[in-house]
Chains A and B, each alone.
Chain A
C-alpha cells in the first residue's frame, strides 16, 4: 500500500507514452539552474539599466519632517534620489473583495510608498536612490538624512497582548467557532490540561531575495519580479499606475523559492516601477537580505491558550484554543492558528477564538502553512501532554478521537486516511520499541526520545486559464501563467498533459510565469498543482475530442494524433479553458465559484503522521534530531521524486522553526535585530538527519487525478513531534519555541 519515496533514479529516463504520471521524472528546470542558464528576476539585461537601493525608516511610527538628499545626490553615478517630496504620484492602494478579484489583496501593506510623509514601521522604505551602478546606489542610500516627529509606537508583542480583541471571521478566515459549551465541559472533565504555548515571529529567507526589474515603454510596463502571483500583481500594478491591465506584463519564469513571501506585492516592486517612470530608464531593485527582513513580511508571533478535557478512556469532551497573533497597523495576514484544532479531533465541545493585536510593525504575511504551522505545534503538543496525563500512548489517544465527519462543519471527508498513515508510519518507524516513560532511553550522555504528531493542511482550489496546442510534428505546448518556484510545477503539468494527450512526455513544452499567458492561479495554499491540472485535463480532453473527430474524417482513427493532423493538412489544433475577455473573466469567476462551492461540499485536506527521534545531551542540553519519518496521506502522487523533495524540504523548514529560527524585535524601538543570516539561524546540513518520507498514494476521488497539494503539509506537526520527543527524552516540556539549549536542561 505504501510507496517508498527513495525510488532509484532511472538511468535511461525514457518515459513510456501514457506512463508519465507517477514516474520520478527529473525536474525540467534542473539543468538550467545548476548550469546558471536560468535567468532569475534580477538577472535580465537591458541597455541603460539603472540600479536602485531603498532607504528605510529608522523609527516605528511618526512623520517625516525633513529629508536631506544632497549628500546622496552628490555621490558620483547617482541618477536620482526619490522621496515623498519628488516621487511620481500614483494611485493609493485599493481595498477590494478577495472573492471578486485577487488584485487588491496582494498589497503587502496599505502604504502608498514615497507618496506619504507617514511612517508605520521601522524599515518602511521612505526614499530610493537610483544610480548607474548598484555600488553607487548602496553607497548613497545611507547618506540620505531624515528628520522625524516620532509618535508612541506599539512594538512589544508581549506588552501589547492585553489589547488583543477577537477577530471577525469571513469566508476565508474563521474568527470564533463554537460547538457546545467547551468551558463547562473542561471544568467537569475527568482529565484535563490547560496550557499556554508561544511561538516567535519567523522571517522569509528564500535563496533568492526579493528583486524587481521595471521597464517602461511609453505607457507599457514590463516587470521582472520575484512573485508567486503574476496575474494578481499585474492587475495590482495596472491599478496603482493607472494604465490598462493589458499594458502591464509581469514576468517570473524562475523564482528562487517563495513560501508565501512573494505572494504579496512588497514595496520593492512598486518603488522599482515608480523609479523607472521617474528616471525614464529601466530600474533594477534587488533587496539585500537585510532589506527583505525590513520590507517584506514574515510570520506573526503567537500566544495560545490550549485546553483539552477528556474522559478517562481518552475521549475528548472539550477542546479550547484561544490564540493571539498580530497584524501591522497598515495590513497583515490574519493567521488562522486554530485551523488544525477545528478539523482534527472529534471533541464534543469546542471553542476556537482568534484574537488580534495591532502593532506598529512590518505587516506579517503568508509563510509556509500559515495557521497550521503554529496551530499544529500548539494542538499536537497539547495532545501529547494529555496522553501523558491519561497514561495513554499519544498515537492511541489521537486514534480514539478520529472523527467520522468534520468536527466543526459536520461535512463529510472527501478522504481521510490519518489512521492508516499512523499505522503504516508507526510500523516503519519502530514506534513500538519506544519505552513510554520520559527519560527512560539513554545512549551514553545522550537522552533519547521519540515523538509523533499529526500533519494537517487544508485543500484549496482556484481557477486557471490554460491553452493547449497540439502540432502536426507531434509536439504539444501547454500555456498557463502559473509559477515555478523550484517545486517542479512545469515538470508535473507536462507529465499530466502528456498522458492526457497520449503523447510522449518529452514532446510536451510548458510555458509559465508570465502574465501575458492565460492567467494561472497564484502559487500558494498548496493549490497550484490541482488547480492547473483541472484546466490542463479539461483542455486536453477537448483537444482529444477534436483530434478524434478529425481522425474519423480523415480515416486515421487509431493512429497517433500528429498523423491525423498531417493527414488533414492541419498544422495544429488548440483548446482553451478560460479567456481574458470581459465575458471570459466573468466566466472564470463563475468557474471559480462553481469549483469553490463544489469543493465546499467536502472537508478536504492533506494529512500525515510525523515521527522523529531526538537526542538531548544530558549535560549541555544540545538537541540533535537523529531520525525522521513523515508518512503522508496526500492523494495521488504525480512525481515521486519531486513530491519527496517538497515534503523533505518542508520538514527541514519545520526543524528550523522548532530549533533555531526566530525574529528578534527590539522592544524599545521595533527594529528587527535578526536582519540577516548571521543573526537569524536557519538549520544547516549538520542539523538535519536522514529524512524518510512516504505516502499512502490513495487518490482523493473528489480531486482531478486524485491530487492533493502537498507543498505545505510537510511543515505541519514537525515542531510538535520534536517538542514531544524532547519531552520523552528529558521529561522537560518545551512550550515556547524555539527549543534553545537552555530550555532542555
Chain B
C-alpha cells in the first residue's frame, strides 16, 4: 500500500488526480478501523494531515467556511457559539481521543447514514466544497449523499471544507444503545432562522442516507408564530414530529427496530423544537 503525503493543497489535488483510487485519510477514525478489520485494502492512502489550510476556518462573505480537517474538538471549542447544532453533535462523537482526531470532512467522506455531523449540516443548509485539479464546486449537502457510504464525490475530488450560514437557533438530539461512545440508533437536528423565517431539519441513522424532512420543514415554517414568537401549539409540535418520522425509512437492526426509530424520531423532533423555540423566546434571535 502506498502512503502519499502531500504538504500543500495543490499537491494533494495532484496526488488525487494521479491516484484516483487513493483513500484520503485525516483523523483516521473511520479509515483506520476499516483497515484494522481488513474491510478494505486500498492501493494507496492519501494523508491530508500536513495540508495546513484544511485545518483553518474563517468567513466567506456571509458564510462561515470551515476546512475539512477541523477536528470535532475544535468545532466544540472554537465554533460552539456560531454552529451550536454541529457542536452539540460533535460532543456526542466517540470519546475525547476520537474527538481530537476525527474531522467533519472525514465524516462527510465516509458518508455513513449514521454520521453524527450530517444532520446539523443538513438542517443548516450547508454547502460542501469539493475540489480537484479541474476546479472547485460547492454542492448543497442534501444533494451530497447518494446512498449508504456513497456520495457525489468524483474519484479525483477531495473535500475541501463546508460552508454554512451562522446564526439562528440550532439543536441536535441523538439516541443510542448506551450513554456515550455510541453509533446513533437515530438522531435529529433542527435549525430555525428568524431572519428568513425558515426551518431546517436533518435526520440520521433512519434511512439509507442522512436526509432532510422537507415536508416537515415547510409545515413548521408555515405554522410557527414568527412575529410574536408565541408558544407552539401542541398539535403543531405533534404534526411536526409525525412528518419528521414519515420522512425517514428506517429498518430493523441490532441497535433498534424500525418502529422504535420512527417513534424516537418524532420525540426528538418535538423535543428539539421545544428547546429551540424556547431559546428564541427567552434570548431572541
Chain A interface (Cβ within 8 Å of chain B)? 142, 288, 290, 619-622, 624, 659-660, 664, 673-674, 676, 678-679, 681, 683-687, 740-742, 745
Chain B residues closer than 8 Å to A619, beta-carbon distance? 267, 271
Report the Cα distance A745→B259, complex, angstroms.
11
Q: Could you tell me if B37 and A290 are in contact, using CB atoms closer than 8 angstroms?
A: yes
One of B60-68, B74-82, B175-183 at the interface? B175-183
Chain A residues closer than 8 Å to B177, beta-carbon distance? 660, 681, 740-741
Report the Cα distance A68→B257, complex, angstroms.
42
In the assembled complex, the CB of B37 is this many whole angstroms from the nearest CB of chain A, namely 7
Report the Cα distance A684→B180, complex, angstroms.
7
Q: Could you tell me if A741 and B180 are in contact, using CB atoms closer than 8 angstroms?
A: no
The yes or no answer to B127 lying at the interface (CB within 8 A) is no
Q: Could you tell me if A620 and B259 are in contact, using CB atoms closer than 8 angstroms?
A: no
Q: Among A288, A620, A683, which residue has its beta carbon within 8 angstroms of that of B178? A: A683
Chain A residues closer than 8 Å to B254, beta-carbon distance? 664, 673-674, 679
Which label, helix, strand, loop or mixed, suits the secondary structure of the A interface? loop
The yes or no answer to B53 lying at the interface (CB within 8 A) is no
12 other A-B residue contacts (CB within 8 Å) besides A683-B178, A745-B263: A142-B38, A619-B267, A620-B264, A620-B267, A674-B254, A676-B37, A681-B182, A684-B178, A684-B182, A686-B181, A687-B179, A742-B257
Q: A290-B37, A676-B37, A741-B264 given as contacts; is B178 within 8 A of A659 (CB)?
A: yes
Q: A619-B271, A678-B33 given as contacts; is B175 within 8 A of A742 (CB)?
A: no
In the assembled complex, the CB of A660 is this many whole angstroms from the nearest CB of chain B, namely 5
In the assembled complex, the CB of A508 is this many whole angstroms from the nearest CB of chain B, namely 39
Report the Cα distance A620→B182, complex, angstroms.
16
Chain A residues closer than 8 Å to B257, beta-carbon distance? 742
Chain A residues closer than 8 Å to B182, beta-carbon distance? 681, 684
Q: List 22 A-B contacts (CB under 8 A).
A: A288-B36, A619-B267, A622-B175, A660-B177, A673-B254, A674-B254, A676-B37, A679-B254, A681-B177, A684-B181, A686-B178, A686-B181, A687-B178, A687-B179, A740-B177, A740-B255, A740-B256, A741-B256, A741-B264, A742-B256, A742-B257, A745-B263
Identify the closest chain A residue to B259 (Cβ).
A742
Report the Cα distance A479→B216, complex, angstroms.
72
Chain B residues closer than 8 Å to A674, beta-carbon distance? 254
- Binary CB contact string for chain B from 27 to 61 against chain A (1 if under 8 A, 0 otherwise): 00000010011100000000000000000000000
The yes or no answer to B219 lying at the interface (CB within 8 A) is no
Q: Could you tell me if B264 and A686 are in contact, using CB atoms closer than 8 angstroms?
A: no
Report the Cα distance A660→B254, complex, angstroms.
11
In the assembled complex, the CB of B74 is this many whole angstroms from the nearest CB of chain A, namely 22
Q: Could you tell me if A741 and B260 are in contact, using CB atoms closer than 8 angstroms?
A: yes
The yes or no answer to B87 lying at the interface (CB within 8 A) is no
Q: Among B175, B180, B260, which residue has its beta carbon within 8 angstroms of that of A685? A: B180
Q: What's the count of A-B pairs with C-beta under 8 Å?
A: 54
Q: Could you tell me if A684 and B175 are in contact, using CB atoms closer than 8 angstroms?
A: no
Q: Could you tell me if B37 and A624 are in contact, using CB atoms closer than 8 angstroms?
A: no
Report the Cα distance A681→B179, complex, angstroms.
11
Report the Cα distance A622→B37, complex, angstroms.
30
Q: Among A676, A678, A679, A741, which residue has its beta carbon within 8 angstroms of that of B175? A: A741
The yes or no answer to B123 lying at the interface (CB within 8 A) is no
Chain A residues closer than 8 Å to B178, beta-carbon distance? 659-660, 681, 683-684, 686-687
- Binary CB contact string for chain B from 86 to 110 against chain A (1 if under 8 A, 0 otherwise): 0000000000000000000000000
The yes or no answer to B273 lying at the interface (CB within 8 A) is no
Chain B residues closer than 8 Å to A288, beta-carbon distance? 36
The yes or no answer to B185 lying at the interface (CB within 8 A) is yes
Chain B residues closer than 8 Å to A664, beta-carbon distance? 254
Chain A residues closer than 8 Å to B259, beta-carbon distance? 742
CB contacts under 8 Å to A, within B188-227, are: none
Q: Could you tell me if B267 and A684 are in contact, using CB atoms closer than 8 angstroms?
A: no
Report the Cα distance A619→B175, complex, angstroms.
11
Identify the closest chain B residue to A682 (Cβ).
B178
Q: Could you tell me if B260 and A686 are in contact, using CB atoms closer than 8 angstroms?
A: no
Identify the closest chain A residue to B180 (Cβ).
A686
Q: Could you tell me if A741 and B185 are in contact, using CB atoms closer than 8 angstroms?
A: yes
- Binary CB contact string for chain B from 152 to 191 against chain A (1 if under 8 A, 0 otherwise): 0000000000000000000000010111111001000000
Nearest first, the 8 A-B pairs at minimum CB distance are A742-B260, A686-B179, A686-B180, A619-B267, A687-B179, A684-B180, A684-B181, A742-B257
In the assembled complex, the CB of A365 is this many whole angstroms from the nearest CB of chain B, namely 23
Identify the closest chain B residue to A618 (Cβ).
B267
Q: Could you tell me if B260 and A745 are in contact, using CB atoms closer than 8 angstroms?
A: yes
Identify the closest chain A residue to B254 (Cβ).
A664
Chain B residues closer than 8 Å to A684, beta-carbon distance? 178-182
Most chain-A CB neighbours within 10 Å: which of B37, B179, B255, B264? B179
- Binary CB contact string for chain B from 234 to 278 against chain A (1 if under 8 A, 0 otherwise): 000000000000000000001111011001100110010000000
Q: Could you tell me if B180 and A621 are in contact, using CB atoms closer than 8 angstroms?
A: no
Chain B residues closer than 8 Å to A621, beta-carbon distance? 260, 264
Chain A residues closer than 8 Å to B255, beta-carbon distance? 740
In the assembled complex, the CB of B39 is this many whole angstroms from the nearest CB of chain A, namely 11
In the assembled complex, the CB of B53 is this many whole angstroms from the nearest CB of chain A, namely 32
